[in-house]
Amino acid sequence: MSNKIQVTITPESLITTAGEAVETIATLHNMGQTIDQFTVSIEGLDANWYTLPVSSVALFPNDKDDLKIILCPPKTAETKAGSYPFRIRVASQADTKETATVDLNLEIQALPEIELSISPQRIVGRRGVYQIVVRNPSDREAQLKLETSDEQGILRYHLQPELLSVPGKGQAQSTLEVSLGWMAFFGGDKEFNFQVLATLPEAEESKTVNGQLVRIPLYRILTQIRLSRVQSIKGQIIRLPWYRAIRQIRLPHIPLPWLEKPPVINKFRAITDDKIEFKLSWSVKRSKVVKLNDEVVERQGEIVLQPNAVTRYVLTANNKYGSSSETVELQPWLVPKAKTSERIGVSLSATELQLQAGGMPEVVTVQLRNLGEIVDKFLVKVEGIDDSWYSRSASSIALMPQTTEQVQISFQPPKKRGVKERKYPFAITVSSQSNPEETTIITGQLEVLPLVEYKLKVAPYRVSSRRKAKFRVNLANTGMSDTKVYLEATDLDEGLRFKFKEEETVVAAWETIEVPMVARPKRGSTVGERKRYDVVITATTEDGNTQTVNCEFHHRPLMASWRPIWRLIRAIIVLGIIATAAYYILKLGGGWRVLYNSPQTWVDQLVRTIEGWFFR
């Protein structure tokens, strides 16, 4: 226990889950009689589990300051749920024997378990509507994504909604409509099994439930149809010449109350990941004219904006029944302008930085000089970028008159969603504690360098069809730069033709797109042997970065060869010849009526006709 240092922790109870950060504030109190610098360290936890934005602070006698400590256990297999004790140690630089410690405990809770159910589980028919219920027994809100699949790949799905936000101790519901394609209309009773997958994006865990749709043959459907008894009455219609009929046409006035309504703005919102670039999107129905800040726009659309100040956007929709409007305010991260002070001298070792997101940090030295005539304490702040992008060796410095001290600032932009290839302005602000109006501001610029990184997937993996196979190529850009990707598909036997909806596409940073692809046999798809084609899909960027993914196309032609068709044609020709001969023989004897009434007469006439050919 130290008589010179007092440490208070708020809050003392630290509870989190793997991959989620929790913060606590350490309040340091200088109970000594001299100015001192105090250093904060953590014992008992791995260095990857915590972050100290400020590791030391200078305090006057009987002065206090707050230090933020961020604890974030990584989301790995080694991180288990349970309690992890650790210790916060504060040491004096003037007297290394003076130390103060505080024992704390970090509790890591298990990730939430999601309960998934489907009702009903089995439906008989060619179309079924199911209710998907997701229950969240934990206290934390869970974000889920629902996906559907089946082995045959012939079912059609309509899921609304696909993304669910399930509150803690609550549940959410989604409606799933499953139907058969037209080719599945033929055949007898058959069961089609499918599954619904619920994925936790943050926890990378999933739950599945199985469902079933039973097909009924056409003849069984027809046997269930019952025609109701109807009454009949006679009527008459008189046809008129077309020019007289047109004159008599009178269009009735049909009131449509559901159309006589003012326009509705379904969506008008702004989304941003870094408070620098904003994506403004909107959707309007029942409107002929839509304006965004007095500029005419489409009823549905989106634009990307980088405002330099707080900006307000107004969306107005009009029709003859009224108008509607909504307002969105964009509040970007503002960087103060450069400023100098007569009492504070500040210089920066570098104002132009180029860093790779998630790469090695770069240290910038801020040199402070007290140009005043009294002892003063100076506060050092970094503005314009997020706190997670940098760390300081000290947040405040106490200086004697005409003395100089340095503060080290380590810049390291993280590799996460929202960090893109661009320039981020920032400012270093140094202000006097005794006179806050005395402030010196130095501006700089941090440039995040390009990084091309993407993931390639294909779904479904296996397609069985008679004519063509449809695949969905998924491109997920996890890099800092917008990437142009070229798609190409090949098969080992070179027996397929491929067609992409877009062979060249641009994937924005941290965005995911889906490109449909169709594969068809080069030869006839109706006749041939069953065959499996191994397909390789290749995605190549402009700088030569290539990824491949495999899938399969099982071709099932209608017939194995043309021989049965030729046999059928020969049989039809022979039967035609026999039928023609029988027709003419029947006609030579006098026809079907003579044969039916008097067979002997028909035979005698046939014999006479044949004898007449030879004995004339």
344-448 has which CATH code?
A: 2.60.40.10
Q: Answer whether residue 229 shows pLDDT above 50.
A: no
Return residue ranges of the chain for CATH 2.60.40.10: 5-109, 264-330, 344-448, 454-555
For residue 284, which of 271, 272, 296 has the smallest C-alpha distance?
Answer: 296
Confidence of residue 282 (pLDDT cuts 50, 70, 90): very high
Tell me the average pLDDT across 505-524.
Answer: 89
Q: What percent of the chain has pLDDT over 90?
A: 31
Q: What is the pLDDT of residue 77?
A: 64
C-beta separation of 213 from 190 below 8 A: no
- Name which residue leads in pLDDT, 103 or 429: 429
Q: Which of 22-31, 185-194, 201-210, 525-534 has the lowest mean pLDDT?
A: 201-210
Q: Answer whether residue 615 shows pLDDT above 80.
A: no
CATH fold of 115-221: Immunoglobulin-like (2.60.40)
Confidence of residue 573 (pLDDT cuts 50, 70, 90): very high
Q: What is the pLDDT of residue 233?
A: 29
- Name which residue leads in pLDDT, 361 or 136: 361
Q: What is the pLDDT of residue 241?
A: 56
Confidence of residue 249 (pLDDT cuts 50, 70, 90): low
Q: What percent of the chain has pLDDT over 70?
A: 85
C-beta separation of 396 from 379 below 8 A: yes
CATH class, domain 454-555, is mainly beta
- Could you please report the per-residue DSSP string of 444-476? EEEEEPP---EEEEEE-SEEEESS-EEEEEEEE
Q: What is the pLDDT of residue 368?
A: 92
pLDDT digits (tens, 9 = 90+) for 71-88: 888 877 677 777 888 888
Q: Which of 85-89, 119-123, 173-177, 324-328 has the lowest mean pLDDT?
A: 119-123
Instruction: Note the pTM of the prediction, 2 decimals.
Output: 0.50
Tell me the average pLDDT across 111-128.
Answer: 72
Q: In CATH, which superfamily holds the domain spanning 5-109?
A: Immunoglobulins (2.60.40.10)
Strands 469-477 vs 322-330: parallel, antiparallel or unpaired = unpaired
Return residue ranges of the chain for CATH 2.60.40.2310: 115-221
Tell me the average pLDDT across 182-191.
Answer: 57
CB atoms within 10 A of CB 120: 11
Supply the DSSP symbol for 554: E
Phi, psi of 609, deg, nearest 5:
-65, -45
Q: Which of 241-255, 416-430, 448-462, 516-530 has the lowest mean pLDDT?
A: 241-255
pLDDT digits (tens, 9 = 90+) for 314-369: 999 998 888 999 999 998 888 889 999 988 999 999 999 999 998 889 999 999 99
Confidence of residue 121 (pLDDT cuts 50, 70, 90): confident
CB atoms within 10 A of CB 543: 10
Hey, what amino acid is at 385? I
Confidence of residue 580 (pLDDT cuts 50, 70, 90): very high
264-330 has which CATH code?
A: 2.60.40.10
Q: What is the pLDDT of residue 225?
A: 28
Q: Answer whether residue 487 shows pLDDT above 90.
A: yes
Q: Return the HEC string of 278-328.
A: EEEEEEEECCCEEEECCEEECCEEEEEECCCCCEEEEEEEEECCEEEEEEE
- Name which residue leads in pLDDT, 82 or 381: 381
